[in-house]
Structure 1
């Protein structure tokens, strides 16, 4: 049994995490939200789980490093500067950062990378995602994760081969580009499809999240796995040994 600290515990994911922690037989060391100080909770926890906001990441990582506490980061909307902070923290503590903690999505990303590696650049890749109306970032962290998987399979840089936000006379699609489309509405927990469109045939790999509890359960499983690991940067693939 482990004790987990929740960063962003009053949010939707924070509440789901609290339920998943108790469901798995673990305990909650405490939780904080905006304006809270993570130092005490980091000291009391076997691992931290952060689904808060990018602006809170610097102080949370600093507290985790001082306490020597592993941390799972599921916060989306991270920029290059945040990734640099995570890289630095991973030099002294175990850190798992991911755009999606669902075990199903983790396997989907593995399949996407494999398909992208096997199919040539003449197969167009389009990633379509839909989330609830309250989601503030687009494309979603999961869509980016899937795009990165496709780019790895192709051996290309995603940032230089992305097409998104098409509107008006955009011209023909660039061969080898990875396209993104983001839909928002209702209470959708998260739907993601990766379409491989070839000449006169298509392959679609899809994951539908029916409830955010799937992300919470995956996060708890991954955070428990992280306890006792050496300092370093980990992914959900490591948890599933993919």
Structure 2
């Protein structure tokens, strides 16, 4: 049993996380949101789960390092500077960062990496995602996670081999590019499909999130796993032993 604190407790994931923490036999040690002192929460917690905002990441990491406790980061929309901060914090504490805490998405990313590696660049890769109307970032963190998996399978850099926001006369599709398309509407928790299109054949690998509880359950499983690790940066792949 662990005392788990939630950063972003008033957000869409906050209430779900509290319920899943208690259902899993752990104690909810409290929440912190914009304007709250995360350091105080860290002092009474065994570990932190962060589903807040990129702008808060640096202070959240500082609080976790100050208390010497692990942190699971599920915040999306992170930039290079945020990843650099995570790398730095991982010298002192265990940190697990992911674009999606779902166990199913973690396995999907593994399958995408395998498919991209084995099929080669002659197969076009397109990633399609849909989320609820309130989501503010695109492509989603999960779509980027899947894109990274595809790029990793091909041994290329995603940032310099991706296409998105196509509109108008864009010209032919770039050879070997990984394409992204984002849809927004309704109350969709998350839909992701990775389409691998070859000559006269096509493979689609997909995942549907029916309820936010799947992300909370994955985050708590990640927290349980992370609690016994040494300082370092970890991923959901390692939680599943992939």
Q: Do these two structures clear the TM 0.5 threshold for a shared fold by scoring above it?
A: yes
2:181 partner SS: strand
Alpha-carbon RMSD: 0.5
Partner of 2:147: 147
What is the rounded CA distance, in whole Å, between the counterparts of 1:2 and 1:63 in structure 2? Answer: 18
Q: 5 Å matches for 1:72-111?
A: 72-111=72-111
Q: CA deviation at 1:228?
A: 2.1
1:126 partner SS: strand
Q: Which runs of 4+ in 1 moved over 3 A?
A: none
1:56 partner SS: helix
What is the rounded CA distance, in whole Å, between the counterparts of 1:189 and 1:39 in structure 2? Answer: 31
Partner of 1:201: 201
Partner of 1:240: 240
Q: Unpaired segments of 5 or more residues in structure 1? A: none
What is the rounded CA distance, in whole Å, between the counterparts of 1:237 and 1:45 in structure 2? Answer: 25
Within the alignment, does 1:64 sit opposite 2:64 as a pair? yes
1:57 partner SS: helix
Q: Unpaired segments of 5 or more residues in structure 2? A: none
Q: CA deviation at 1:232?
A: 0.2
Q: How many residues matched?
A: 242
What is the rounded CA distance, in whole Å, between the counterparts of 1:14 and 1:84 in structure 2? Answer: 26
What is the rounded CA distance, in whole Å, between the counterparts of 1:181 and 1:5 in structure 2? Answer: 34
What is the rounded CA distance, in whole Å, between the counterparts of 1:238 and 1:141 in structure 2? Answer: 18
Q: 5 Å matches for 1:29-44?
A: 29-44=29-44
Q: CA deviation at 1:40?
A: 1.3
Q: What TM-score do you get using the length of structure 2 for normalisation?
A: 0.99
Q: Deviations over 1:67-111 (max 9, x none)?
A: 101000000001110000000000000000000000000000000
Q: 5 Å matches for 1:1-242?
A: 1-242=1-242
Q: What TM-score do you get using the length of structure 1 for normalisation?
A: 0.99
